[in-house]
Amino acid sequence: MALDTSGRIGGATRLVGVLGWPIAHTLSPRMQNAAFAALGLDFAYVALPVAPERLPAAVRGLAALGFAGANVTVPHKAGVVPFLAEMSPIVRALGAANTLLVRADGSLYGDNTDAHGFLADLRGHGVAVGPGTRALVLGAGGAARSVVYALADAGATVKVANRTVTRAEELCQLIAGVLPETAHRLAAHAFPNNLTDLAADATLIVNTTSLGLHPATDSLPWDPAVSFRPGQVVYDLIYAATPLLNFAREGGAGAINGLGMLVHQGARSAALWTGADEGELARFMQEELERS
Ligand code: ATR
């Protein structure tokens, strides 16, 4: 759905956007522009398709074009880090940024709001994460990094199960390196080995793999012989009712998709650019996405 921006974009409008490749299907422009309009913020948000070889030119161009900042998504989250003059501790820890702020002198500050977005959405669904949480994270790619960081930092025990176990081990080592106090609560497993035991132990299961994005052809990131149960929460980073979430509901478990994480990471980014209240931004972003 195209937004009616007539009369809203003027000479003083500040631009923000999202750098990605591909980027045509992003929901961010819709939800961000809806929140800007609702709060009377003179900002506009656009999708910025940036081919990998053009990333350096695009990042340098943000300041030249007067952008207030940008989001960064796949495949550029790590690629923007060398361009940052300053970065938040989580960007330094994970080597990945999803938010850029163009400062008055044109230099870039980088932040990563994904871990915050994930925890904020869980909180919004009434799921407390802390020392009593026993999490099982499926996948060990880029998306898993923020999730494992967030869970470990919040006090949870985290088991990472990945088809390629060495990637799960590397991820646990990365997080243990930056959050040493969490090292004894992190463990890597080869998926799908011992899934029955891992599932029995887990209170929160998080799918960070892309399996489920194409429900007609994707396999389940899970073994259908292993059921979920009431009291468990299954969170899927994909923004849809995936087969995994349907399977979780059949077992009586809670099922949450990634739309709320999108909202909360975006609201924190927008708060950084605009100075507006993050909670208000999130409320209007959520309302916009619920309209579809
Ligand atoms: P992202 O940055 O989105 O997390 P990624 O880095 O390519 O993407 O990671 C994709 C994750 O999905 C990985 O954990 C991958 O497992 P491998 O490390 O073994 O490749 C997982 N994944 C993708 N397809 C899979 C499949 N068919 N079965 C199991 N895991 C799969």
CA nearest ligand 1 atom 5, residue? 141
Above 80 in pLDDT, residue 200? yes
Looking at the DSSP assignment, which residues form a beta bridge with residue 15?
44
C-beta of 203 in contact with ligand 1 (< 6 A): no
pLDDT recorded at residue 125? 98
Q: Tell how far the Cα of 14 is from the centroid of ligand 1, in angstroms.
A: 37
pLDDT recorded at residue 7? 72
| C-alpha closest to that of 262 among 55, 113, 131 | 113
Q: Tell how far the Cα of 16 is from the centroid of ligand 1, in angstroms.
A: 30
Q: Tell how far the Cα of 221 is from the centroid of ligand 1, in angstroms.
A: 10
pLDDT recorded at residue 5? 61
Catalytic: which of 30, 76, 77, 264? 77
Catalytic residue flag (residue 77): yes
Q: Would you give the DSSP letter of residue 185?
A: G
Euclidean distance between CA atoms 236 and 210, whole angstroms: 9
More confident call, 63 vs 5:
63
Euclidean distance between CA atoms 47 and 26, whole angstroms: 7
Contact assessment for residue 255 and residue 248, using Cβ atoms and an 8 Å cutoff? yes
| C-alpha closest to that of 199 among 221, 178, 228 | 228
pLDDT recorded at residue 44? 98
Pocket test for ligand 1, best of 209, 220, 222, 238 (most atoms within 8 A of CB): 209
**Omega prior to 192 cis, within 30 of 0:** yes
- Average pLDDT, rounded, for the chain: 97
| C-alpha closest to that of 213 among 255, 152, 257 | 257
Pocket test for ligand 1, best of 21, 163, 244 (most atoms within 8 A of CB): 163
Quick one: which atom of ligand 1 is closest to the CA of 219? Answer: 27
C-beta of 140 in contact with ligand 1 (< 6 A): yes
Q: Tell how far the Cα of 11 is from the centroid of ligand 1, in angstroms.
A: 44
Question: To the nearest 10°, the Cα dihedral for 107, 100, 288, 256?
Answer: -170
The per-residue pLDDT for range 46-77, each reduced to its tens digit, is 999 999 999 999 999 999 999 999 999 999 99
**Omega prior to 22 cis, within 30 of 0:** yes
The per-residue pLDDT for range 202-225, each reduced to its tens digit, is 999 999 999 999 999 999 999 999
pLDDT recorded at residue 4? 59
> pTM of the entire structure?
0.96
Return the ∠ at Cα 1 (arms to 42 and 15), rounded to 5°.
25
Mean per-residue pLDDT for 178-202? 98
The interaxial angle of helices 142-153 and 165-178, nearest 10 deg, is 40
Above 80 in pLDDT, residue 288? yes
Contact assessment for residue 174 and residue 168, using Cβ atoms and an 8 Å cutoff? no
**Residue type at 183 in one-letter notation:** A
Euclidean distance between CA atoms 169 and 180, whole angstroms: 15
Q: Tell how far the Cα of 204 is from the centroid of ligand 1, in angstroms.
A: 19
| H runs (alpha helix) in 65-183 | 89-94, 114-124, 142-153, 165-178
